Amino acid sequence: MLGLLLLVGCESSNIAARRQAYATDYAALSAEEKALVDKGKLRQGMSTNEVLIAWGQPEIISTMDTPNGPFVIWEYYRKRTVTTPSVRREVMVPGSSTPVAESRVFPNAAPSGSSSVVESLERTAAFQNDRLVNWSPK
């Protein structure tokens, strides 16, 4: 629960910082648009600047040509640390009547209890003619 509160607090402070950075664009929004942006929510037809204030700068921007014209896709990724629990594993070795610690048999294997950073696609926004046409998650 505390993690969720910290995440929400951090996200709202990021939105506040982006509102300041794009003050002119934010001031031009209607009250309804400001309310959505302030919550980090999107709606169809938003400009790229509105999405930028609501969600921030994407990690990847790509263009996809379609019969209906080009689409610009913004991709947002989330990084998180994954820790493998520490487990003592034993293996049977030919010629031995008792199990041997896995680390003695495979000394170069990654130790259990190690951490790694995993990056996964969290959300996307698709634009046509600088207007939001689709996004996920909605």
Work out the pLDDT band at 37, boundaries 50, 70, 90.
very high
Percent of the chain at pLDDT exceeding 70: 86
Q: What is the pLDDT of residues 72-128, one digit of tens each?
A: 999 999 998 887 776 777 777 787 788 878 777 777 776 666 788 889 999 999 999
Q: What letters, b where the CB count within 10 A reaches 16 and e where it falls short, cover 88-104?
A: eeeeeeeeeeeeeebee
Helix (H, G, I), strand (E, B) or coil at 98: coil
